[in-house]
Amino acid sequence: MLSDPSTFFCVDMGTTRTRVWFTEDGVVRAHQSGDFGVRNVASGQPRQWLVEELSLLLKKTQMDAASRGLNKKTTAILAAGMITSDHGLQAVDHVEAPVSEATLARRLWRGTFSGDFDLPLVMVPGVRTLGPDSGMEGVLQSDMLRGEETLCFGLLKTGLLQPSMGLFNLGSHWKWISIDEEARISASRTTLTGEMIHAIRSHTLIASALPQGPPGNLDSTWVDLGFHEARHAGLGRAMFGVRLLEQAKQGSSDDRLSFLYGAFIQSEIVPLLAQMKGSDRQVLISGHASLAKHWGHYLNLYGVPATIITEAEQEHAYLTGLLALSQKHL
pLDDT along the chain (330 residues), means of 10: 70 95 90 95 94 96 91 90 96 96 96 87 96 85 96 97 95 93 95 94 95 90 98 97 97 98 96 73 92 96 94 96 84
Beta strands of the chain (E only): which ranges? Answer: 7-13, 18-24, 27-34, 76-81, 95-96, 109-112, 120-123, 127-129, 143-145, 166-170, 174-179, 185-191, 283-287, 306-308
What residues does CATH 3.30.420.300 cover in the chain? 7-160
CATH topology of domain 7-160: Nucleotidyltransferase; domain 5 (3.30.420)
Tell me what percent of the chain is helix, strand and coil, each rounded to the nearest 5: 45, 20, 35
Instruction: Provide the pLDDT for residue 5.
Output: 58
**How is domain 193-308 classified at the architecture level of CATH?**
2-Layer Sandwich (3.30)
Distance CA(165)–CA(31), nearest Å, equals 30
Instruction: Provide the pLDDT for residue 329.
Output: 63
What residues does CATH 3.30.420.310 cover in the chain? 193-308
Short-list 78, 88, 149, CA closest to 109:
78
Instruction: Provide the pLDDT for residue 25.
Output: 78
Distance CA(4)–CA(309), nearest Å, equals 23
Instruction: Provide the pLDDT for residue 174.
Output: 95
Q: Which amino acid is at 22?
A: F
> Rounded to two decimals, what is the model's pTM?
0.92
**Which residues are 7's β-sheet partners?**
24
